Amino acid sequence: MRSLTHLFFRVLLPLAICLFAARAHAALEIQVTGGAASRIPVALIPFQSAPNAPTPELTSIIGQDLLRSGQIALVATAGSQQPVEPAQIDYGVWRGKGADAIVIGQVVSLPGGRFEVRFRLMDAVRQTQLAGLSFNIGPEQWRAAAHKIADIIYEKLTGIPGMFSSRIAYVQKRGTQYELRVADADGQNWQTVVRSREPIISPAFSPDGQRMAYVSFENKKPIVYVQSLRDGSRRTLAAFKGSNSAPSWSPDGKRLALTLTRDAVSQVYLINADGRGETRLTRSDAIDTEPVWSPDGQWVYFTSDRGGSPQIYRVSSRGGEARRVTFSGGYSVSPDISPDGKYMAYVRRDEGRFRVVLHELATGQERVLTDTAHDESPSFAPNGQLLLYATLVNGRGVLGTVSLDGRTRAKLSESGIDAREPDWGP
């Protein structure tokens, strides 16, 4: 009997609320609203296509990825020669257009509805090959192949690993329905992890990307769950008396920081990933919440109003005195730390506008990155070069990315959806 109950609650129920059908959906708008002066100019020549190849074209997906990074500019290719093999490239033409690198490729139909995708990245100055790969893919891997190619191009040209093959999580509200979704980094190809009639907030990828912690109100109060992204099975991580929220994984994935109210006021606790061994990390008589780990696991940054207004503090993950980090505004919340530990992104209110701010931890120097008014939940890309955040456009929640210099902003938006609470995963 006990095992049957166990089976139902631990396995069947979670499966019932999970949908794992991957869907390809209408195009998201990507609006690059600015650009850095020092972007690397690339000629991304449309790949030679094949009958029955999926849409959109691979080079369209690759191009949007590269543009969104803010570190690469695309040279116009229309009306020029469209080489497929290196020997066909007229380097003079592409140098004349200012290209430092040239991408060529082709798609070939294979038996069984599969495709071979070949591409080469050429150095336009030295006239040498920087990278070349071929993929044998099914049509469902079309976008993944494009993101992989974008990652290779980006890494070869910038020396920084790409982030286009990573995934993001967000919550979509449609009518009275909430859906926790996982999608490609460009917001496409989403899958529903959980669907609920009650709110879901604060999704957090585990460091290995295999699990998701989140807060659900389905049991009439905020409870933290951890769900496998592989099989949909779900466990309760924290359902203590009062509210349970704001989960954040330690870099080794063994523990989480979270906010509990079981000792009255909202305080930050640490708990093992199996839901055991909770210990209180912060000790104040004020609000302490929104914990996030530094990448070395040494610090936990969090929001606290102990000084009278919400500000960001940090405390050793072994406990002790907390130290205040932000001083520049009257309302500073929702910290996230870059993968290299050098920067903190957070949301600051200035004259009624909530915007994403980048804070250099060593110097305290800050830069406002966005020009919107209702920004929430900034989250660093796995390579630390972009931030994902939520904002409101015409009263509707949309996801956006912004480069660390603030000059390249893109909106990942799908008509009719209300997206919020993004987290950028591995």
Partner 1 sequence: MKRILLPMLVLGALAGCQTMGVDDKEAAIEDRSTAKPAATAADSSAATSGTSGQSVSGATMGQGDPRKDPANILSKRSVYFDFDKYVVKDEYRPMVDAHAAYLNNNRNARVTIQGNADERGSREYNLALGQKRAEAVRKALAVNGVQDGQMEAVSFGEEKPRSTGTTEADYAENRRADIVYGDE
Chain residues binding partner 1 by CB under 8 A are 199, 201-202, 217, 220-222, 241-243, 245-246, 259, 261, 263-266, 285, 287, 289-290, 303, 310, 331, 333-334, 347, 349, 354, 376-377, 420-421
User: Least separation, in Å, of the C-beta of 326 and partner 1?
Assistant: 13
Closer residue to partner 1 (CB): 203 or 425: 203
Joined tokens for residue 224: 């933290």
Closer residue to partner 1 (CB): 91 or 217: 217
- Rounded CA-CA distance 274/290 in Å is 20
Closer residue to partner 1 (CB): 310 or 384: 310
User: Least separation, in Å, of the C-beta of 301 and partner 1?
Assistant: 13
| Contact assessment for residue 372 and residue 365, using Cβ atoms and an 8 Å cutoff | no
User: Least separation, in Å, of the C-beta of 221 and partner 1?
Assistant: 4
Closer residue to partner 1 (CB): 317 or 377: 377
User: Least separation, in Å, of the C-beta of 377 and partner 1?
Assistant: 8
Exposure b/e, 333-367, CB count within 10 A at least 16 = b: bbbbbbeeeebbbbbbbeeeebbbbbbebeeeebe
- Rounded CA-CA distance 45/15 in Å is 44
As a residue count, the chain comes to: 426
- Rounded CA-CA distance 199/243 in Å is 14
Closer residue to partner 1 (CB): 310 or 406: 310
Amino acid (one-letter) located at 230: R
Closer residue to partner 1 (CB): 77 or 266: 266
Closer residue to partner 1 (CB): 162 or 291: 291
Q: Which residues pair with 196 in a beta bridge?
A: 178
User: Least separation, in Å, of the C-beta of 398 and partner 1?
Assistant: 16
User: Least separation, in Å, of the C-beta of 425 and partner 1?
Assistant: 18
CB neighbour list of residue 364: distance below 8 Å, 6 or more residues apart:
327
Closer residue to partner 1 (CB): 172 or 289: 289
Query: What's the gap between Cα 68 and its chain centre?
Result: 13
| Contact assessment for residue 167 and residue 133, using Cβ atoms and an 8 Å cutoff | no
User: Least separation, in Å, of the C-beta of 15 and partner 1?
Assistant: 25
Residue 194: Cβ within 10 Å count: 23
Joined tokens for residue 279: 């210990």
- Rounded CA-CA distance 411/371 in Å is 13
Closer residue to partner 1 (CB): 39 or 306: 306
User: Least separation, in Å, of the C-beta of 366 and partner 1?
Assistant: 18
User: Least separation, in Å, of the C-beta of 419 and partner 1?
Assistant: 13
Closer residue to partner 1 (CB): 289 or 326: 289
User: Least separation, in Å, of the C-beta of 134 and partner 1?
Assistant: 45
User: Least separation, in Å, of the C-beta of 63 and partner 1?
Assistant: 34
Closer residue to partner 1 (CB): 21 or 264: 264
